[in-house]
Amino acid sequence: LNHRKLLDAIFAVCGVPDALFRPISSSVDKLDKTPWDTVRNEMTNEKGLPGDIADKIWSYVQLRGGADLVDQLRKDSQLCAQSTAIEALNELELLFRYLTLYGVMDKIVFDLKLARGLDYYTGVIFEATLNSYQYNPTLGEDQVAVGSVAGGGRYDELVNKIDSRQSRVPCIGMSIGVERIFSIKEHQLADSNTQAKTVETEVYVASAHNELLEERMKLCAYLWENGFKVEMSMKKNPKLLDQFQYCEKCQIELCIIIGESELKSGIVKIRNVFTREE
């Protein structure tokens, strides 16, 4: 995570003209996937930023760490001469305190090169990644690297831009990369050679003989009443093999089997679909 006001303060300290704040921010945002030399060339040759200013920016945006980085930045007298930097560091310090209380600070990286390309952010910005699937341009076609799977931040002035009648409304939001998450999940399933569970069903009620539709319905109702997620075939006389194959396809682990002998004894069979133990 990072803070948009802190990034703007860094640009100001480094001497970036106000008109170039957003264009240079979009260049910095590429550093998670692009080498510094390439980004520096974009800043200087394409956007007209002097090379010495670009190098000053690099001295800041290469920094990353945890809550200790806040203390390090507070010792920078030039940076802390910017009121927006002090405001951002205070907010980050409070956020890190809360994250520590929640016990998740070990999962957080304070990264000064995180910029998020959108102009409407006004405070904390963040992205979520999965460590095993971070972007790496050297990976082969059979490997998955998706970058961030979620991202967002604070945007206190956006509502006012949409509806000028509204006063300053504090907001924070995020988006989740559903397609990226599915891509990772497919890769994990391929690696483990297992199928995805496509339903929430915990128990499947199957019949071993014909004419047992009502008995299956009664058993489903009983299990539903007791909090189980249950389903059965809607066919009147489904084949037992078809019912087993459905459970395997949908990754339903438990199958209750009722037949004539089970009705007489009042005891049903419970089959583990994966191990085939009854």
Residue 140: predicted pLDDT: 46
Q: Is 7 in the same domain as 108?
A: yes
CATH code for the domain of 245? 3.40.50.800
Q: Does residue 41 lie in a domain region? A: yes
pLDDT for 119 equals 76
For residue 52, the enclosing domain spans: 1-115
Look at the chain and count its residues: 278
Residues 6+ apart with CB under 8 A from 88: 3, 4, 5, 6, 9, 123
Q: What is the pLDDT of residues 138-174, one digit of tens each?
A: 444 444 456 788 999 998 877 777 777 767 788 899 9
Inside any domain, residue 278:
no
73: pLDDT strictly greater than 90: yes
Is residue 102, in this structure, part of any structural domain at all?
A: yes
206 strand-pairing partners: 257
- What confidence score (pLDDT) does residue 199 get? 82
**pLDDT confidence bin for 69, thresholds 50/70/90:** very high
Of 164 and 28, the structure prediction assigns the larger pLDDT to 28
Q: What digits encode the pLDDT tens for the residues 98-146? A: 999 999 999 999 999 999 876 788 999 999 988 766 555 444 444 445 6
> Sorting pLDDT into bands at 50, 70 and 90, what band is 195?
low
Nearest C-alpha neighbor of 139 from the set 199, 204, 86, 183 = 183
Residue 12 shares a structural domain with residue 89: yes
The β-bridge relationship of strands 124-129 and 2-3 is: antiparallel
171 and 251 inside one domain: no
Closest CA to 232 of 254, 205, 253: 205
DSSP H helix total and E strand total for the chain: 12, 10
User: Does residue 104 sit in the same domain as residue 140?
Assistant: no
Non-local CB neighbours of 262 within 8 Å, separated by 6+ positions? 208, 268, 269
The predicted pLDDT at position 134 comes to: 52
pLDDT, position 162: 76
Rounded to whole angstroms, the Cα distance separating 132 from 184 reads 10
Q: Helix 83-101 crosses helix 4-14 at what angle (to 10 degrees)?
A: 140
Total number of domains constituting the chain: 3
Domain identity same for 208 and 187: no
pTM: 0.67
Do 87 and 16 lie in one domain? The reply is: yes
Assess whether 62 and 84 both reside in one domain: yes
| Residue 90 covered by a domain | yes
pLDDT of residue 139: 46
Query: Cα(136)–Cα(161) distance, rounded to whole angstroms?
Result: 37
> 53 pLDDT exceeds 90?
yes
* pLDDT tens column, 209-267: 999 999 999 999 999 999 999 999 999 999 999 999 999 988 899 999 999 988 889 88
- 159 token code pair: 């509502």
Q: How many CB atoms lie within 10 A of CB 146?
A: 18
What is the reported pLDDT for 158? 79
Could you give the CA distance from residue 242 to residue 255 in angstroms, rounded to a whole number? Answer: 12
| One domain for residues 78 and 169 | no
The percent of residues above 70 in pLDDT, for the chain, comes to 91
Task: Examine residue 126 and state whether it is found in any structural domain, yes or no.
Answer: no
Query: What pLDDT does 170 receive?
Result: 84
Mean pLDDT, all residues of the chain: 88
Does residue 127 fall inside a structural domain?
A: no
| pLDDT at res. 142 | 46
Specify the 3-state DSSP secondary structure of 189. Answer: helix
268 three-class SS: coil
Instruction: Select from 195, 214, 231 the last residue of a domain.
Output: 195
Q: Are residues 1 and 102 in the same domain?
A: yes
